[in-house]
Structure 1
Amino acid sequence: MISEDEWLVVIDRQKVFAESEWSTWACADGTYYDTDESFGRLAKAFGERVAYTRYVPPEPPQDAWVEYFKDWPQFLVANDDPMYDFTDETAILAEGHPVVNRDTFCKWGTELAEAIRGAKRIVVCGVATDCCVLTTVLAAADSGVAVRVPADACDGSTPENQELALNAMRLFTPLITVTDTDAILE
């Protein structure tokens, strides 16, 4: 059940993480698209209380990110490069909603907290479960926000990494509840 004060936070549903035929950052074997139905149901159910995030590359990379991007130079492009666009179905649902752009894995911070109007209960879905979802969920929970994670509306870099990340989040029960879309919408 969705509380009146609960928000949906949609993490990085972007082409760079979806299109595995050209992106080495994409979820394995096109599994990103397995989350479309659950994500769409959640986005519609939450109505106006949905915020979206986008990963954008640092301009320029600083500190440890310099070394990181030596392994991933193809992703150091302008923030408005089409690879960082939302996937088509996400773009349609995101229209008119707050969008937070961050050049870090973790999307939690002042800007996202303001976008969700200080909500203390959120549902987080998106990609990749073992990177941006995990770091965002942990930071939000650590700041006192109750977080639910519908596993069927998230996807990891690989199925194995998806399960590892979900299991890591389960360690933080009751701050974090790993669940599914049906349980949230019942």
Structure 2
Amino acid sequence: MPDEPWLVVIDAQRIFASPDSPWGSPMFPGIVEPVRRLAAAHRGRTVLTRWVAPEPERGSWAPYMDAWSFARKPADDPLFDLVDEVADLADHVVTVSTFGKWVPELVAITGETPHLVMAGVATDCCVISTALAAADAGATISLVADACAGSTPENQAAALAVMGLYPPQITVTTTDAVLR
């Protein structure tokens, strides 16, 4: 049905989940169970995204990748793999080299003005970048706070507070509320 929401799980990848990664979120283990519950309710309508290093590194991406050279790897490097705990949930995978995932590839799957149930990592980078762009384009976002992991608890709270300023385009909610 066209009006049913899509679950979009942002960047559940080793680079953002591993405690050994400079970008690993300490909050990531806590979102696996909520994401799996959400995916069970969105079978056939679940998109997982992947960030990969930009190639070529245009404009501000060159100094960014200089600052974070550990991530300067080819797109097929295992660092960019989806984590095993959620990789099996994907009905679709969108791979791009931008923070925001509201890109033509995702729009082609969900439609131009969908209802998106959004989860993932990092709340304070790729999730907020995706949510704001999608809302600006006319999507309705249910941002599932307990299914999002920030770079730190403080940054998570700040990002949720910012996105909480955008109702009714963005509604900050919980897994239980979405599943009711």
- TM-score, length-scaled by structure 2: 0.96
Does the Cα contact within 8 Å between 1:106 and 1:136 map onto a contact in 2? yes
Instruction: Report 1:32-51 matches (<5 A).
Output: 32-51=28-47
Distance 2:154 2:137 in 1: 28
Q: Which amino acid aligns with 1:80?
A: D
Distance 2:111 2:162 in 1: 28
Does the Cα contact within 8 Å between 1:122 and 1:145 map onto a contact in 2? yes
Distance 1:113 1:99 in 2: 12
- TM-score, length-scaled by structure 1: 0.93
Structure 1 residues 173 and 117: alpha-carbon distance in aligned structure 2, compared to 1, 3 A threshold = closer
- What is the DSSP-based 3-state SS (H/G/I as helix, E as strand, rest coil) of the residue aligned with 2:124? helix
**Aligned with 2:130 (options 120, 136, 141):** 136
Distance 1:91 1:15 in 2: 11
Q: Structure 1 runs of 4+ off > 4 angstroms?
A: none
Instruction: Report 1:110-129 matches (<5 A).
Output: 110-118=104-112, 120-129=114-123
Does the Cα contact within 8 Å between 1:50 and 1:116 map onto a contact in 2? no
| Offset, 1:113 | 0.8
| Offset, 1:119 | 5.1
Distance 1:53 1:126 in 2: 9
Q: Paired residue for 1:179?
A: 173
Q: Paired residue for 2:14?
A: 15
Does the Cα contact within 8 Å between 1:9 and 1:125 map onto a contact in 2? yes
Instruction: Report 1:46-85 matches (<5 A).
Output: 46-85=42-81
Query: What RMSD, in angstroms, separates the aligned Cα atoms of the two structures?
Result: 1.2
**Aligned with 1:163 (options 151, 157, 160):** 157
| Offset, 1:70 | 1.2
Distance 1:177 1:62 in 2: 34
Distance 1:26 1:58 in 2: 19
Does the Cα contact within 8 Å between 1:6 and 1:119 map onto a contact in 2? no
Distance 2:39 2:71 in 1: 28
| Offset, 1:118 | 4.0
Structure 1, gaps ≥5 residues long: none
Residue-by-residue CA offset, 1:131-168 (whole Å, 9 max, x unaligned): 00000000000001110011000000000000000000
Distance 1:37 1:176 in 2: 23
Distance 1:112 1:86 in 2: 17
Question: Which one is further off, 129-138 or 116-125?
Answer: 116-125
| Offset, 1:60 | 2.5
Larger helix fraction of residues: 1
Does the Cα contact within 8 Å between 1:56 and 1:101 map onto a contact in 2? yes
